[in-house]
């Protein structure tokens, strides 16, 4: 279970102090939680605070009752938190197999490493020995990153817009991966997304705007309001 208590995050710019997150209180214990809301509202910042990439200006973070606020991203990874970037990192000199082995924490059999690639819709024999460099597309890197998180089997897996760079056919497979991930890892999944198909499989939806939680609840309570608001926005823009 993840608990956020009075989380705020401020930065300094040429105009002075700017509040990115404002006193956020949140408990996440559901199988699948989705963060959504307008661009620039604070979703990715909050996810990076949870992962340890950013340190909150104020507030505390607890994982299964343990205060992890002051732990680094590496220390949080050891505690069981994974983070998948919106734009995956390239690793020159490492092969896909190397990356999956590192994620798993051991040298896997080739067949086991390949199984993780197969789960994300990749032909394993074409990728297992490829170097994780500029020769791979953004969509390929995204799927490889998701495969490494499957290999890690972490307590909390955080994905920042995993659909970015994914083609339509792969997106359908991506949904299936997330639907099956909880059963395989027994951990919680947190996804930042605007995609209705992803929001539709969430147990809880958290709407974040202007650095604050604007709405939170079960999918069946929150999603209809989001869709209605989006429809109104589209109609207004056409007028």
- Tens-place pLDDT, residues 23-34: 999 999 888 999
Residue 137 contacts residue 165 (beta carbons within 8 Å): yes
- pLDDT value of residue 225: 83
Rounded to whole angstroms, how far apart are CA atoms 48 and 154? 16
Backbone angles phi, psi at 232, to 5 degrees: -65, -40
- pLDDT value of residue 166: 65
Mapped onto helix, strand or coil, the DSSP state of residue 55 is: coil
For residue 35, the tally of other CB atoms under 10 A from its CB is 29
- pLDDT value of residue 232: 52
- pLDDT value of residue 89: 66
Residue 139 contacts residue 166 (beta carbons within 8 Å): yes
Q: How confident is the model at residue 48 (pLDDT cuts 50, 70, 90)?
A: very high
Residue 91 contacts residue 37 (beta carbons within 8 Å): no
- pLDDT value of residue 124: 74
Q: What angle do CA 228, 196, 231 make, to 5 degrees?
A: 25
pTM score, whole prediction: 0.81
Mapped onto helix, strand or coil, the DSSP state of residue 88 is: coil
Give the tens place of pLDDT for each residue, 146-189: 888 888 878 898 988 877 666 655 667 777 777 777 777 678 88
Rounded to whole angstroms, how far apart are CA atoms 97 and 124? 10
| Least confident residue range of 46-60, 100-114, 168-182, 200-214 | 168-182
Note the residue count of the chain: 239
Mapped onto helix, strand or coil, the DSSP state of residue 32 is: strand
Burial of 192 (0-12, 13-18, 19+ CB in 10 A): buried
Rounded to whole angstroms, how far apart are CA atoms 7 and 25? 7
- pLDDT value of residue 57: 94
Rounded to whole angstroms, how far apart are CA atoms 196 and 173? 15
- pLDDT value of residue 190: 92
């Amino acid at each position: 279970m993840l608990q956020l208590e009075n989380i705020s995050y401020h930065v300094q710019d040429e105009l002075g102090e700017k509040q990115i997150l404002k006193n956020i209180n949140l408990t996440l214990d559901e199988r699948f939680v989705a963060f959504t809301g307008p661009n620039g509202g604070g979703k990715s910042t909050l996810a990076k605070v949870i992962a340890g990439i950013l340190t909150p200006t104020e507030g505390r973070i607890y994982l299964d009752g343990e205060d992890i606020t002051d732990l680094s991203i590496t220390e949080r990874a050891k505690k069981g938190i994974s983070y998948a970037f919106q734009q995956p990192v390239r690793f020159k000199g490492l092969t896909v197999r190397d990356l999956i082995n590192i994620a798993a924490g051991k040298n896997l059999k080739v067949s086991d490493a390949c199984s993780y690639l197969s789960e994300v819709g990749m032909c394993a024999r074409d990728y297992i020995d490829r170097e994780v460099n500029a020769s791979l597309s953004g969509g390929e890197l995204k799927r490889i990153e998701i495969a490494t998180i499957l290999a890690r089997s972490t307590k909390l897996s955080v994905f920042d817009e995993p659909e970015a760079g994914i083609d339509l056919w792969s997106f359908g497979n991506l949904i299936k991966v997330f639907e099956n991930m909880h059963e395989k890892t027994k951990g919680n999944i947190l996804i930042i997304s605007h995609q209705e198909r992803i929001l539709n499989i969430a147990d809880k939806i958290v709407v974040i705007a202007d650095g604050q939680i604007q709405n939170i609840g079960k999918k069946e309570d929150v999603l209809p309001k989001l869709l209605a608001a989006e429809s109104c926005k589209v109609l207004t823009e056409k007028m």
